[in-house]
Every structure is written in C-alpha cells, then in structure tokens.
Amino acid sequence: MLELLAGVAVAVAALALVLEPLMRRPGLESLGVPDEPDAAPLEESESRKVQALLALKEIEFDRATGKLSDDDYAELKARYGRDALVAMDAERTEAATVAGAADPAEALIQSVRKDLQVCPHCGPRPETGAAFCSECGRPLSVVGVT
C-alpha cells in the first residue's frame, strides 16, 4: 500500500513538472523581464507607427498562409509601408523639435536623458520609475541632463 502511494506521489510530481511550462503565460518574464500589469498591449496602442507595423506583420502572415494574393499583398504592403514611414518621420521630427536640436540623433539622446536617474553613490542608473538604487539601495534623484 505504501508503494502505491509513493508511486502516485511521484507520478503527480512528474506530471506537475511536465505541465508547468505549458500552464505559464508566455511573455517577457521567461526572458527575465518583469511583467508590467499596467502596460497596454501593442494591439491597443494609439501610435500610428505601431499600428502600421502591426498591419505589416499581419499582411506578411496572411501572405505566408495563402490568404492574400500577390496583387493585394503588394498594394497593402505599399500603403502600410508608407504609413509606417510617415509615422516614423513624424516621430523623429517631433523628437527633434522637443529637444531643440538640429541633429535628430542628438535630439533622441537628449529626450532619453531628460529624466536621467542618478544614484549619489553609483552614478546614472538604468532603472525607470525607481525610487531607490538597485545596487546600493540609496534614494535616486532625477537630473535633467542637457
């Protein structure tokens, strides 16, 4: 009787180990990135760039599965490709005007640096929205670097 109970326990444990990866929600947490519960899915993004890129991805998938003819694929890819390029150009121009720089790359760097968090002991930190340093635990201060 004891052997039967031990066998059932081992079988249940083995089954749990096998099914555990299947029951987990796939996502970034498997890569070591914490899941952000307040982050909206990309499909719900209001960004024109994101919507155009998602449409291009869907068009590629539909063509690969045979749902789109070559003519329809070419037309849709051209239209959404133009939309994505226009949205990216608008985003780049907006970043340049926000930073007030003539060089778009410098404008992008300045937009990233505007809310740089600095630890008094460890220096600049990569954490966003953190109140304390992940290395030493001291309070972080936000420094607008220009």
Model pLDDT for residues 129-143, shown as the tens digit of each residue: 677 887 788 887 766
**In residues, how long is the chain?**
146
pLDDT, tens digit (0-9, with 9 covering 90-100), for 88-110: 888 877 766 655 556 777 777 77
Count of H-run helices and E-run strands, the chain: 4, 3
Sign for the CA dihedral angle at 45, 49, 55, 61 comes to: negative
**Residue 28 clears pLDDT 50, i.e. is over it:** no
83-107 per-residue burial string, b: 16 or more CB within 10 A, e: under 16: bbeebeeeeeeebbeebebeeeeeb
pLDDT of residue 32: 47
